[in-house]
């Protein structure tokens, strides 16, 4: 039962987090959401690479975080949000439907993986390959990386 409590707590934390920053639309709130997604992908990556042992609860929590955060991410780009964000490609505003579709693809792929919950290290690796392609597709199109 312990993992269920952990998942429930994480889901609740995610909801609370989302509601605090939902309509914010600033660079910081966008980055905060992406850091959440990045952290969850990192936890899956550690399992896929064998740095951490397979743990169904962590896999479930991470996929849930990615699915829910990706779903809420486009809300950060509403009409009154920051349109001068230097790390956001300005063409996002002209291709908002495509941007939303890319967020929905990530969230949908995470939900699909969640439904079939990867059962071992190789399964996590396969799921991460699909999700990683979704990250890359959107970043390539709409994220300006400042180094
Ligand atoms: C629908 C588009 C989209 C998808 C899908 C997406 N990202 Fe992002 N990501 C962005 C945008 C846009 C930014 C820049 C946000 C900003 O600067 O305001 C960003 C920024 C980031 C950052 C930078 C945070 C920082 O500290 O600067 C990380 C890390 C990140 N994304 C991880 C991921 C990972 C991991 C995935 C896949 C699991 C993913 N993203 C999927 C659009 C996306």
- The residue with greater pLDDT, 2 or 75, is 75
Place domain 2-142 in its CATH homologous superfamily: Cytochrome c/b562 (1.20.120.10)
User: Structural domain boundaries of the chain?
Assistant: 2-142
First to last CA, the chain: 44
90 alpha carbon, distance to own chain's centre: 21
Confirm if 24 and 74 have CB atoms less than 8 A apart.
no
Ligand 1 center–CA 32 separation, angstroms: 10
Ligand 1 mutation pick, 43, 139, 144, 146, max ligand atoms within 8 A of CB: 139
Percentage of the residues of the chain whose pLDDT score is greater than 70: 83
| pLDDT of 52 strictly over 70 | yes
| pLDDT of 90 strictly over 80 | yes
Rounded mean pLDDT, 56-75? 97
Tokens 């969850």 locate to: 40
């Amino acid at each position: 039962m312990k993992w269920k409590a952990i998942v429930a707590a994480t889901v609740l934390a995610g909801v609370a987090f989302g509601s605090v920053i939902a309509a914010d639309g600033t660079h910081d709130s966008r980055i905060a959401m992406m850091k959440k997604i990045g952290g969850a992908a990192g936890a899956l990556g550690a399992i896929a690479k064998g740095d951490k042992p397979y743990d169904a609860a962590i896999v479930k929590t991470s996929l849930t975080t990615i699915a829910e955060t990706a779903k809420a991410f486009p809300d950060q780009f509403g009409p009154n949000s920051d349109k001068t964000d230097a790390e956001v490609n300005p063409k996002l505003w002209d291709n908002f439907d495509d941007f939303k579709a890319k967020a929905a693809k990530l969230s949908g792929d995470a939900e699909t993986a969640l439904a079939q919950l990867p059962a071992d290290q190789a399964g996590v690796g396969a799921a991460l390959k699909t999700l990683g392609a979704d990250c890359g597709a959107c970043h390539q199109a709409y994220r300006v990386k400042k180094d």
